[in-house]
Each structure stands twice: as structure tokens, then as C-alpha cells.
């Protein structure tokens, strides 16, 4: 019996579990930051946006990103927001189907992280019209872009795929019987 098919492979369940874990962590953090910690009300005198210092190199802030990564392609129109939502959902479905063809747990986890992060940011677009970002890293006068847990999951997933591609023999052929 062939254990592979177009929609379900040996690591599909694991990859979807990782996606769900990333999604839950992202949405729980966003809920806490917005409604429990109430970052929006923590604006220091003389500043336009909330900024809460955590360490000498990290602040918690509230930035609404109407675009994609790094604020690219900002969308203020309803049509633009809808296009980003449809693209994110399409990419998540395509990645979910790709899980059926993956032959390692590591690669499935990497793809799962990307799926979970993409869905987390898509939920923000649907609920708020933009993605809520909170973590600001800075050192020596250099400020990194502001990001959230979903962004961390997506970047970690992409790094995992690069590691798999370069070092872990991702080209292993699975023979069906």
C-alpha cells in the first residue's frame, strides 16, 4: 500500500501540529499585548507610539503593518487588503499540500512554521486590516524592523528550508510501491 498521496504524507500531521503551535503562540501573544498588557495605552510623554523598554537592546512597541514583511507593499484600500489575504491563504494551502511530499520531520516542521506564521498574520489582516507588530530590536544606533511571533516563525521556517536544502540531503527520493 502506498502511504503517500497528493494531500497527506508521512509528516503532514506533524507539520500541521507545528503550524497550529506557531499560530496559537502568535495569536495568544497578540491578544495579550493588545488586550491584557494594553500596549496601545502605554505612550510615553512626547512620543507618538507606545514604546516600553525591556532591555538595552529591545523595546515593546505597537506598529500596525498594512503591508507584507518589512512594510513592503502597504495596502490601505479594501481591494489591496483582500489581495494580501487571498495570497496568504493560497500560499498556506499550497504549503499544506507540499507537506504530503516531504520526507523528513525537520522539513515538515520548517514548512509548518511558515504556514502557522502566515495564517497568524492573515488573521490580523482580517480582524484589524493590518498586522500587529510588537518587538523592536536595536543596538549601536541601528534599529531592526518591528516584528511579531508569526514573523519569527516564518523566518525560522525559511532558515530551516535553507539548511535542509544546503546540508541535509533534501533530494532523497521516496520510492512508491
Instruction: Name the least confident of 4-8, 39-43, 89-93, 113-117.
Output: 4-8
Judged by average pLDDT, the poorest of 18-32, 39-53, 136-150 is 39-53
Name the catalytic one among 59, 124, 151, 164.
Answer: 151
Whole-Å CA distances, 144 to 58, 127, 134, 136: 10, 26, 12, 7
pLDDT band, residue 34 (cuts 50/70/90): very high
DSSP string, the chain: -----SS--TTHHHHHHHHHHHHHHHHHHHHIIIIIS-GGG---TT-SS-EEE-SSSEEEEEEEE-SSGGG-S---SHHHHHHHHHHHHHHHHHHHHHGGG---HHHHHHHHHHHHHHHHHHHHHHHHSSEEEEEEEEETTEEPPPB-HHHHHHHHHHHHHHHHHHHS-TTPPPPP-
26: annotated active-site residue: no
Per-residue pLDDT reduced to its tens digit, 113-125: 999 999 999 999 9
Cβ pair 114, 155 in contact under 8 A: no
CA distance 90 to 106: 23
Considering the candidates 26, 59, 124, 133, report the single residue annotated as catalytic.
133
The model's pTM: 0.85
- For residue 129, what are the contacts with CB-CB under 8 A and spacing of at least 6? 66, 81
Res 59 pLDDT > 70: yes
59 is known as an active-site residue: no
For 63-108, what is each residue's pLDDT tens digit? 898 876 655 566 667 887 888 899 999 999 999 999 989 989 999 9
Amino acid at each position: 500500500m502506498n502511504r503517500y498521496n497528493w494531500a497527506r504524507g508521512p509528516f503532514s500531521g506533524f507539520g500541521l501540529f507545528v503550524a497550529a503551535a506557531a499560530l496559537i503562540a502568535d495569536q495568544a501573544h497578540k491578544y495579550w499585548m493588545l488586550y491584557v498588557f494594553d500596549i496601545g495605552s502605554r505612550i510615553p510623554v512626547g512620543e507618538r507610539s507606545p514604546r516600553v523598554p525591556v532591555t538595552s537592546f529591545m523595546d515593546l512597541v505597537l506598529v500596525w503593518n498594512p503591508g507584507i514583511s518589512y512594510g513592503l507593499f502597504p495596502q490601505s484600500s479594501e481591494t489591496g487588503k483582500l489581495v494580501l489575504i487571498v495570497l496568504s491563504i493560497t500560499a498556506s494551502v499550497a504549503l499544506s499540500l507540499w507537506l504530503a511530499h516531504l520526507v523528513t520531520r525537520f522539513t515538515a516542521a520548517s514548512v509548518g512554521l511558515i504556514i502557522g506564521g502566515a495564517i497568524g498574520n492573515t488573521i490580523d489582516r482580517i480582524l484589524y486590516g493590518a498586522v500587529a507588530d510588537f518587538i523592536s530590536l536595536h543596538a549601536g544606533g541601528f534599529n531592526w524592523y518591528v516584528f511579531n511571533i508569526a514573523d519569527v516563525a516564518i523566518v525560522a521556517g525559511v532558515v530551516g528550508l535553507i539548511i535542509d536544502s544546503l546540508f541535509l540531503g533534501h533530494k532523497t527520493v521516496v520510492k512508491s510501491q
